[in-house]
């Protein structure tokens, strides 16, 4: 059933297949009179773009976005913003194997069984290429949120190698090809991922996204909680297998005393929390602290080692995936996670305004 | 904005506060001609009911459900099923402290700031008491799914103490007060939780819910994926801070080879997976394997040790929460997690039928 | 599929059958801190209540509403408001005929064919009794809209007898049993409907609902236009067969010159329209003028004259409906139409605020 | 708030402005494995295309549709079908008057007041040009419905001149430029509309759309009734001011006896109605008879006679609209009404399947 839309007040719908003519998104509900140019969107697409280092797929896609509607004389009009990115470098000639064999870990088998048909070229609709549309929508969401809200993502673990959080430096995330906030760890990953890449293997990763400047009060309990919407949002990203808010799974090991985020009053009368185990959300509503979300990405399923599988006719066979793939899809998931955070927050900013004014 | 509904084709809306007149749910979209009695629902409510052991709140609530509509001569009619559970044991006399002070870890502060008002009695709308309504809705969802789908939950970690998965025995989950599938660990938890309870403290937990018998093909990519709906579902449960599908966060440490669920053909021609790292979902669609979800619950925020906080007038103060609370809310989260799994699956069963027939 | 909810930001879900235990509504998205008592709702229910004159059904229902949630110390809290009205006077003893025969003009046949089952007692879910829930929801919607918006309905035609619009006097609508704004016509209807009633027949009617004080700017083009939502809203009311906005069908006969609502500037700088052919809506958005909606109600299908029909076993037969029915259901549709107008406007007030602020 | 989507299971979202780069639609939820080519869609677009006779706007738009996604090797894949129609003949040079003055009867004033900005070129988003996207979506909906359901529309009244229903001949609707089923009346309209056109005036019209072959059981009471969805659907079409189902407003004048659609059993055991006052819908659910909907379109607001209005700066002024406009927009509303009927039915076919199977 129709499932290609996300959000309620700020709502986007994406379309397009990896090796089709184009991909795109329609963003509906955008507040009017926001300045918006293609360049505003392009800068975020460029962060996600493939082929920027040897650690991501070498597919050459300029990922140039066009705004087809909803903007007039440089301002949004309140009508749907239609965005299109043409596919350039499909290399679609030879799909022999992938057309008939199901790649383990990919959506080949489930799409085929659900729909009785699938566009197997480059993964079709299930390809991570679709995430470009999300990043484009996220760029508009940031405009909706305005300068008061800052959304930043970082890669915090690659395979078994986690960063040292004491060395966290946001400025580093633009200084290495991994969006890594810890320069030392980034250097170590470089060596590690070179090995992974050369062996034709792949690894998983963990991404952390933080939103600062979110006021207290966003989120709609009980079923559209800010955290449940974030969990859903992150879990829609390709290859994601886990989502945490604040302390996440570590909270299971805490005592009630250890988990309590105590509160004090600032000299100016505002409220101050002494810790943020909750990740900035209580009862599904933002506390005014940083919103902290982490999600785990499984290793790229496309690898050079043959794996046992079956084909569309019910025969046993094996498959290995050549082609141009990311050894660690987690890297490019960073801007995607930021975009999803932005979209969830823009939606809840507007939803809060609907019910509570202001 | 309106956020108290869950699901699309199978859709429920809950209402009610912890110490109000009643709580309840309206379940819409229920297929017609399903046998349904109050007893069918009551048996699941009884599993979640408070006061069944010394490890859950001692509040005395019979949690007796009434079906007010949507059933005629013992069968569902296709019209909304309205369910009501009257609150009995509110003990609402004295709320002095809680009325004006914000309990750390609770939703007091965020509800007050969002809405400018809150029903502080027993946590009002943000109380876990609301989960009784979910369990009731889940009982109907199980009817929709039929006997072919089995949904079972277990507590797999309490504080730092995890079960031994080699001792997993589903029959044990009804043999101890923890829904623990490992008898030895259950015995150890008993001692541990007695200490926690006596010290007036609390601990977190991890719950695992498994659905067997789900056919391949349920789930609507890209934004209503089966896993993203499950992540959202579990994250709406009180105190949940993390959700995993299949290997979850552990997948980040795997290689592509290690993560691949290889496929073979059974003698009868059906497909067999050699492992289930994916937790039964690929590309947002069920694979036909067990659906495996885990979620982490933070420690109960209500503890006897005083914590620093602020009051509604902006004064610094401290608070401790007497009253009747679960030392580990994770225990009663087991039937709630099962119910949410059932509701997500019933919804997707029907959604799949809408688009793909059969 | 789930279809018992109405609205997006201001959203209500109704449940209950004519001769079941109770009927009710859950109203979600209500802004917080609105004063709300049962009496605020009861006064509107009392306008719709059966048995108030010899021209409506003689079923004796006090229609006493209870607020079960969402209100604390006399104020809404932003959480769902659950409303329940217990059924009292069901007289359910004997349903022999109606249980097996399909009454022409009623929903008996279609419910039976769609669901394979139906609660035939008093029409079950398809009974106009459900409209009490809407009137209750509408009372809350009026609170959301505040005193600046006035919503009034009137019966403007009964069978072939229309009012004289030159004699329109809103104060008359409370002075006769028909909500008729024209005292002379009301007197004539009295005689006419007595005849209809005594002959065991029934007639149709036309209702007009007018909202004053709606500011310019509410409504969400293109598919949630204010007028399309109103058309949907009115068409959901039992027995409604047509809806018009402003000049409605008469607009088909106008020329472009005759249809243009010309505009002028008031001394205070505000805009003034010289006419209101559009019924207060242009491009799906309110103009600031009165919103004018009319809808046609077919004659009550329950009549004393036998009609040919078939039974549930596929036999030809005939049926006549005794019992206590409205000779003209249009009368009691007036407060229902007002309620639906209120709900649509409250929803769009909040939706406008979400996207455009203010 | 986001309002540019229609439908639930079969759901389309449109985007684009009259004089922007392109217009389009994303159709989500399309069942898989339906044969679909651009030609399948183009034939319906060609029926709506401007400039086909002297009675519609002379704007030259080929309205060539491109399918950008969701179709693979000639079959739908179950993923979103993205459709794009490039705008060719915008003639956007000179908008002097229209940029600053509000045209009476148009959406200029309300868009400006709601959003604080508007794309005034050719009416921007509020232009009837958008209806091409609906016709394209409708062509896909027809594929979903299959050959068993036939949807046909006709113009039944132009200004004060109605057809003679005794002369109704569906084959005539393709034999004159008006989709008129009555050849004699079509000839009279030709003369009449020539006069209207030459005088620079315009007239309204009434359209009737009939669906045959719809089985009993589609429609979701109480708020997603088949008739309420149709009323909403038709009222979203530009310039529509009224919608009727079956006898519509005429039902108000009937007696219960006259309105009853009596039922008999056919020799083959199936049910036969002796009349169709209800227009094929009872209780919001299809009866198996023809679904009959009529809607009224107001006269084109763009006329050559100057009308009093105001400008964006609050000055009184007057305006006349040159340009290329339809003297009767009702003509081209016929294929649009058919498309909306198709989309509503496809949605309810799928929704019915979700809840009731089959």
Would you say B264 is a known binding-site residue? no
Chains interfacing with C (3 or more CB pairs < 8 Å): A, B, D
Best of C263, C264, C271, C286 to substitute, by most chain D Cβ atoms within 10 angstroms, is C263
Supply B346's token pair.
Answer: 């019933």
Residue C114's pLDDT is: 98
Work out the number of other CB atoms within 10 angstroms of the CB of residue A73.
7
Q: What is the mean pLDDT of residues C344-352?
A: 98
Residue A91's pLDDT is: 62
| Token pair 């389009």: residue | D24
What stretches of chain C adopt beta strand conformation (E)? 5-6, 11-16, 22-28, 65-67, 71-72, 75-76, 81-86, 150-158, 161-162, 205-212, 240-245, 263-265, 271-273, 281-282, 285-286, 291-297, 307-310, 316-319
Residue contact A14–D80, C-beta within 8 A: yes
Does B8 lie at the interface with D, CB-CB under 8 angstroms?
A: yes
Confidence of residue C167 (pLDDT cuts 50, 70, 90): very high
Q: What pairs with residue C66 in β-bridges? A: C84
Confidence of residue D132 (pLDDT cuts 50, 70, 90): very high
Whether the predicted pLDDT of C51 surpasses 90 = no
Residue D154's pLDDT is: 98
Q: What is the mean pLDDT of residues C266-271?
A: 96
Q: What is the mean pLDDT of residues C234-239?
A: 98
pLDDT averaged over every residue in chain D: 95
CA distance C102 to chain D (A): 9
Instruction: Give the global pTM.
Output: 0.98
Residue C166's pLDDT is: 98
Does A246 lie at the interface with D, CB-CB under 8 angstroms?
A: no
Which pLDDT tens digit goes with each residue over B201-210?
A: 999 999 999 9
Residue D90's pLDDT is: 65
Residue B91's pLDDT is: 62
Does C355 lie at the interface with B, CB-CB under 8 angstroms?
A: no
Supply A27's token pair.
Answer: 């963003």
Which pLDDT tens digit goes with each residue over B250-282?
A: 999 999 999 999 999 999 999 999 999 999 999
Burial zone of C213 (CB within 10 Å; 0-12 exposed, 13-18 middle, 19+ buried): middle
Torsion of CA B261, B266, B271, B276, to 10 degrees: -30
Residue contact B72–C13, C-beta within 8 A: no
Residue C94's pLDDT is: 66
**CA-to-CA distance for A258 and B251, rounded, in angstroms?**
28
Residue C48's pLDDT is: 86
Provide CB contacts within 8 A for B201, sequence distance 6+: A255, A256, A257, B299, B303, B304, B305, B327
Annotated domain spans of chain C: 5-356
Does B32 lie at the interface with C, CB-CB under 8 angstroms?
A: yes
Q: At what angle do helices D333-356 and D38-48 cross, to 10 degrees?
A: 140
Give the residue from chain C lying closest to B2, CA to CA.
C29
Q: What is the mean pLDDT of residues D67-75?
A: 98
**CA-to-CA distance for A244 and A294, rounded, in angstroms?**
5
Residue C293's pLDDT is: 98
Confidence of residue A324 (pLDDT cuts 50, 70, 90): low
Q: Comparing C240 with A62, which gets the higher pLDDT? A: C240
8 Å CB contact between D334 and D135: no
Chain B residues touching A278 at Cβ < 8 A = 105, 241, 298
**CA-to-CA distance for C334 and C47, rounded, in angstroms?**
9
Residue B94's pLDDT is: 66
Which pLDDT tens digit goes with each residue over A141-154?
A: 999 999 999 999 99
Q: What is the mean pLDDT of residues C202-228?
A: 98
Q: What is the mean pLDDT of residues B75-101?
A: 87
Which pLDDT tens digit goes with each residue over C110-125?
A: 999 999 999 999 999 9
Which pLDDT tens digit goes with each residue over B293-311?
A: 999 999 999 899 999 999 9
CA distance A353 to chain C (A): 5
Indicate the residue of A78, A221, A355 with minimum beta-carbon distance to C31. Answer: A355
Q: Dihedral of CA A225/A227/A231/A236: which sign?
A: positive
Residue C116's pLDDT is: 98
Whether the predicted pLDDT of D245 surpasses 60 = yes
Whether the predicted pLDDT of C314 surpasses 90 = yes
**CA-to-CA distance for B302 and B285, rounded, in angstroms?**
39
8 Å CB contact between C342 and C251: no
Mean pLDDT is lowest, of B221-230, B234-243, C91-100, for: C91-100
Confidence of residue B57 (pLDDT cuts 50, 70, 90): confident
Restricting to C residues 40-69, those with a Cβ less than 8 Å away from any Cβ of D are none
pLDDT averaged over every residue in chain A: 95
Residue D57's pLDDT is: 75
Residue A90's pLDDT is: 64
Whether the predicted pLDDT of B249 surpasses 70 = yes
Give the residue from chain D lying closest to A84, CA to CA.
D68
Whether the predicted pLDDT of D91 surpasses 70 = no
Length of chain B: 358
Q: What is the mean pLDDT of residues C218-232?
A: 98
**CA-to-CA distance for C116 and C104, rounded, in angstroms?**
18
Whether the predicted pLDDT of C323 surpasses 90 = no
Q: What pairs with residue C319 in β-bridges? A: C307
Indicate the residue of D224, D255, D286 with minimum beta-carbon distance to C299. Answer: D255
| Token pair 């052919």: residue | C277
Residue D93's pLDDT is: 63
8 Å CB contact between B246 and A241: yes
Does C23 lie at the interface with B, CB-CB under 8 angstroms?
A: yes
Question: Rounded to an integer, what is the distance from CA D334 to the centroid of its chain?
Answer: 6
Chains interfacing with B (3 or more CB pairs < 8 Å): A, C, D
Terminal Cα-to-Cα distance of chain C (whole angstroms): 36
pLDDT averaged over every residue in chain C: 95
Work out the number of other CB atoms within 10 angstroms of the CB of residue C327.
28
Residue B324's pLDDT is: 66
**CA-to-CA distance for B56 and C104, rounded, in angstroms?**
57
Return the DSSP state at D131.
H
Whether the predicted pLDDT of B331 surpasses 70 = yes
What is the dotted CATH code of the domain comprising D5-356?
3.60.150.10
Residue C44's pLDDT is: 97
B340 conformational bin, left if phi > 0, alpha if psi -120 to 50, beta if neither: alpha
Whether the predicted pLDDT of D27 surpasses 80 = yes
Return the DSSP state at D297.
E
3-state secondary structure of C292: strand
* Segment holding C235, helix H or strand E: helix C226-235
CA distance D95 to chain A (A): 14
pLDDT averaged over every residue in chain B: 95
Whether the predicted pLDDT of D321 surpasses 90 = no
CA distance C195 to chain B (A): 37
A154: nearest Cα among A209, A192, A204: A209
3-state secondary structure of C311: strand
Which pLDDT tens digit goes with each residue over C96-154?
A: 788 999 999 999 999 999 999 999 999 999 999 999 999 999 999 999 999 999 999 99
Does A35 lie at the interface with D, CB-CB under 8 angstroms?
A: no
């Amino acid at each position: 059933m129709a499932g290609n839309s996300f959000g309620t007040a700020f709502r986007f719908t994406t379309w397009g297949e990896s090796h089709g003519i184009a991909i795109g998104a329609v963003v509906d509900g955008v507040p009017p009179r926001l300045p918006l140019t293609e360049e505003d969107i392009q800068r975020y697409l460029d962060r996600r773009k493939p082929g920027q280092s040897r650690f991501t797929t070498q597919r050459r896609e300029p990922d140039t976005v066009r705004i087809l509607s909803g903007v007039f004389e440089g301002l949004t009009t309140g009508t749907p913003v239609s965005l299109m990115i043409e596919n350039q470098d499909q290399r679609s000639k030879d799909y022999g194997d992938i057309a008939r064999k199901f790649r383990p870990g990919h959506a080949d088998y489930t799409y085929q069984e659900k729909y009785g048909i699938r566009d197997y070229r480059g993964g079709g609709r299930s390809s991570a290429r679709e995430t470009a549309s999300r990043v484009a929508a996220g760029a508009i969401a940031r405009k909706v949120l305005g300068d008061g809200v800052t959304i930043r993502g970082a890669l915090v673990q690659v395979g078994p190698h986690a960063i040292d959080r004491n060395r966290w430096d946001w400025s580093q995330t633009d200084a290495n090809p991994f969006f890594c906030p810890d320069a030392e760890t980034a250097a170590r990953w470089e060596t590690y991922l070179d090995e992974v890449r050369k062996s034709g293997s792949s690894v998983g990763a963990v991404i952390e996204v933080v939103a600062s400047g979110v006021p207290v009060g966003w989120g709609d309990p009980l079923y559209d909680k800010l955290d449940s919407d974030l969990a859903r949002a992150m879990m829609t990203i390709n290859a994601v297998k886990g989502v945490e808010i604040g302390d996440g799974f570590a909270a299971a090991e805490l005592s009630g005393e250890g988990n309590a985020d105590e509160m004090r009053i600032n000299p100016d009368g505002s409220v101050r929390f002494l810790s943020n185990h909750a990740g900035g959300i209580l009862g599904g509503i933002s506390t005014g602290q940083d919103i902290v979300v982490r999600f785990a990405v499984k290793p790229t399923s496309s690898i050079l080692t043959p794996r046992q599988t079956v084909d569309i006719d019910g025969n046993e066979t094996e498959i290995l995936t050549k082609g141009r793939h990311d050894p660690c899809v987690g890297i490019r998931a960073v801007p995607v996670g930021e975009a999803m955070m932005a979209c969830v927050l823009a939606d809840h900013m507007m939803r809060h305004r609907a019910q509570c004014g202001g």
